[in-house]
């Protein structure tokens, strides 16, 4: 990961819209954003997000397809994965106190897990991009934007 580039963290729903919801009202903007990320090569996501995508799509994939999705999603979208994309790695395990601290700011478990990894692994200069950016407003040390808002700044 090139630390000199301003990193762009990509949340689960951006990948899911691209992979599953071709008729979504935001599909074109979402695709434009992902093309921008692929071209610029400064995207990053977390292993939690990769696992969320796999879990959401698991209902429609066979075992081979699910494993391929896990292994190739970062390459398909040209994103790095924090803390690791190794299937044998341990799951990032923050303390219950840390997660409860984020939940006290009105975060779901999934959002708190992601925010914890992001806050502890990436510089504040990172942009966090999600269609649910408002959910992350008060739990991140960095700015949260929708893909549309991010592209409008470019």
Note the pLDDT of residue 92: 85
Confidence of residue 4 (pLDDT cuts 50, 70, 90): low
Q: Which tens digits make up the pLDDT trace of 93-112?
A: 899 999 999 999 999 999 99
**The whole model's pTM is what?**
0.93
- Nearest partner of 140 among 101, 90, 94, judged by Cα: 101
> 3-class DSSP state for residue 82?
strand
- The pLDDT of residue 3 is 47
- Whether the CB-CB separation of 46 and 114 falls below 8 Å is answered with yes
Q: Exposed, middle or buried: residue 109 (CB in 10 Å: 0-12, 13-18, 19+)?
A: exposed
Q: Does the pLDDT at position 80 exceed 80?
A: yes
pLDDT in tens, 9-68: 999 999 999 999 999 999 999 999 999 999 998 999 999 999 999 999 999 999 999 999
pLDDT in tens, 27-41: 999 999 999 999 998
Task: Provide the pairing of β-strand 43-46 with 144-145.
Answer: unpaired
**In angstroms, rounded to a whole number, what is the distance separating the alpha carbons of residues 106 and 34?**
28
Residue 2 pLDDT exceeds 50? no
63 burial type by CB count under 10 A (0-12 exposed, 13-18 middle, 19+ buried): exposed
Structural domains of the chain sorted by starting position, each given as residue range(s) with its CATH number in brackets: 8-153 (3.40.50.1010)
């Amino acid at each position: 990961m090139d630390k000199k580039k301003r990193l762009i963290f990509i949340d689960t729903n951006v990948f899911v819209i691209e992979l599953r919801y071709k008729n979504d009202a935001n599909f074109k903007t979402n695709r434009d954003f992902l093309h921008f990320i692929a071209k610029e090569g400064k995207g990053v996501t977390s292993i939690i997000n990769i696992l969320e995508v796999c879990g959401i799509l698991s209902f429609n994939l066979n075992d081979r397809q699910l494993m391929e999705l896990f292994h190739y999603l970062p390459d398909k979208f040209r994103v790095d994965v924090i803390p690791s994309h190794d299937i044998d790695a341990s799951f990032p395990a923050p303390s219950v106190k840390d997660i409860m601290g984020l939940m006290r700011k009105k975060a779901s478990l999934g959002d708190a897990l992601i925010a914890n990894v992001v806050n502890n692994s990436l510089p504040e200069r990172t942009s966090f991009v999600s269609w649910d950016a408002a959910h992350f407003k008060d739990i991140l040390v960095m700015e949260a934007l929708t893909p549309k808002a991010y592209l409008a700044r470019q």
